[in-house]
Structure 1
Amino acid sequence: MLVNLLSSRTKAYLFRRSCLKASLIIAGSVIQGFGMGVFLFPHAIPPGGAGGLALLLNHWFSFPMSIGFWLMNFLFLLTAIPFLGTVSTVGTIGVITTTSVSVNIFGVYFNSPLGNVWFDLLAGSVLLGIGIAVLLTQRFSNGGIGFAALALSRQKHFDPGKTLFWMNGAIFILTACVIDWMIIIQALLCQWISTSIVSWLYSTSFPARPLYAWRGKRDR
């Protein structure tokens, strides 16, 4: 009977932890979706490489931002699936899906109360950073381009940080050439503010630990 009682308590504890984890993942996805949908995307400010490509799809083909954002992230994620564990793959798909739905809902039904591109840039970047930090605490990425950069760096033995920088940089330049050159400055500011928020919130509260289940050849 004692064993059954302990087992029941363990199951209840694991269930509560799973619910809390799922709630935080959803919260992080919604927060960053709110920042992008209300403050960044209306000014054509890309929060990252996938966001920049989503802006281009919207500019060229009037493709909805939410669908373009989901599609670009998913395509980037496909390049890294062979190296990811099941939990990381499914979790990241869930994150980009929740974020894309949030972008669509907030973008349609909410308008920025600030009305200034630079204030909106600040607000959107802060919210983006908060959302990413929440996701990182649960060991999930906020999109697929980071995984694509890691997969490329693993195959070609490049530095992953530099790989991600050049991938995002190339997309920002292309977006600026097509839409507006000011986008480069705004995108870099967005990156700097959001990553500063992430570093402050995450590194001061949580020790360094792996973000996802990255599998090597020996693991498969």
Structure 2
Amino acid sequence: MRLTIQRDELANNLRDLIGIIVGCIIGGFGISLFLIPFKASPGGAAGVAQIFYYLFNVPAGVMMFIINVPLFIAGIVIFGKLFGLKTVWGIFWLSFWTDFFNGDRFLGIEVLQGFFFRINEQSVSFTNEIFLGVIAGSLLLGLGAGLVIKFNGSTGGSDIPALIIRKYLGLTVGMSYFIIDSLIIFSVGIIFKNPNLILWGFVSLYVTTKATDFVVEGLSYTKELFIVTTRGEEIKRYILQDLDRGFTLLKGEGGFTGEQKEVIYVALHTRELPKLKAKIKEADPGAFVVVNDAYEVMGDFRR
């Protein structure tokens, strides 16, 4: 039994390590062949690496690794073993693939020469349009980062500074990310004396974040509702008979009035939501309703 568990753990870890590499390949491709050529910074270590790449000709991947290693050590010192092997693995491979996909190395391959555009002295890209470059690069970086997260890894970047800010300044992780990435994006625009790069940087950050969320969470076709009502019979009957859905009943009490209320919890398909909302409004106009996205529903649920 123990041998089987160990074998399963080994298989899961191996799957994670391979998945992280695949994510880093996709992310490195997007950074090197789309974002760096147009100086479009989505923040993080990749954004800082761009600055050193153009000012001092330091390979972006090498710079990303140099930035991430002390951050990783600081994370261990401050938080303990919060970030383990898979973070080091992700940092290394994203740095490696970012430099591997430097477009200049492919210009020597005759069959590929027609696919590349020289954007500046230091970079080439698959496109000579900044809009296409920013969108494509950000999508690829987001998809790659999402895969890394999905396989329980991390590529460093803003992760550890954001946690440090949360620990010592009390800000949320989301706000910490925003502050760090915004500072990097503004720095790129100021250093290269191009305010357009600031706008493109925020576009890149937004697209990257959305693409990452899509990979990690998927599309939400399911909604969950909490319905707090004093007239629940008609609503419950409608859910059971018309929508053919089950629900869970909770007992609630108004915090201000002390009035006893029913709380109906139900998960359903997005297309059923307007019908149920209309029924709730008809049966109990004063009902308190909270609607959330449900990215995954396990158990007996008809999709």
TM category, shorter: 0.7 to 0.9
Secondary structure at the counterpart of residue 140 of structure 1: coil
When normalised by structure 1's length, the TM-score is 0.82
Displacement of 1:57 in angstroms is 1.4
In structure 1, the gaps of 5 or more residues are 1-5, 208-220
Match of 1:98 in 2: 93
Match of 2:190 in 1: 177
Displacement of 1:77 in angstroms is 2.9
Displacement of 1:8 in angstroms is 4.3
Which fold has the larger relative contact order, with Cα–Cα distance below 8 Å and residues 6 or more apart in sequence?
A: 1
Mapped pair 1:161 → 2:163: no
Match of 2:218 in 1: 204
CA contact (8 A) 2:43 2:182 kept: no
Match of 2:202 in 1: 188
CA contact (8 A) 2:39 2:197 kept: yes
**2: CA distance, partners of 1:192 / 1:63:** 27
> Residues 167 and 71 from structure 1, CA distance in 2 versus in 1: closer, same or farther, beyond 3 angstroms?
same
Match of 1:211 in 2: none
Secondary structure at the counterpart of residue 147 of structure 1: helix
Mapped pair 1:148 → 2:161: yes
**2: CA distance, partners of 1:18 / 1:52:** 30
Match of 1:218 in 2: none
Q: Which amino acid letter does the alignment assign opposite residue 35 of structure 2?
A: L
Match of 1:126 in 2: 139
Higher helix share: 1
Percentage of pairs with the same residue:
22
**2: CA distance, partners of 1:80 / 1:87:** 7
Q: Which amino acid letter does the alignment assign opposite residue 32 of structure 1?
A: G
Match of 1:109 in 2: 105
RMSD of aligned Cα (Å): 2.1
Displacement of 1:97 in angstroms is 1.2
**2: CA distance, partners of 1:106 / 1:81:** 31
Matched length? 202
CA contact (8 A) 2:75 2:82 kept: no
When normalised by structure 2's length, the TM-score is 0.61
CA contact (8 A) 1:73 1:145 kept: no
CA contact (8 A) 1:172 1:187 kept: yes
For residues 88-124 of structure 1, the C-alpha deviation after alignment (integer angstroms, 9 at most, x for no partner) is 2432222111111101111143443333221111111
In structure 2, the gaps of 5 or more residues are 107-115, 117-124, 220-294, 297-303
Match of 1:21 in 2: 16
Match of 1:214 in 2: none
Q: Which amino acid letter does the alignment assign opposite residue 59 of structure 1?
A: Y
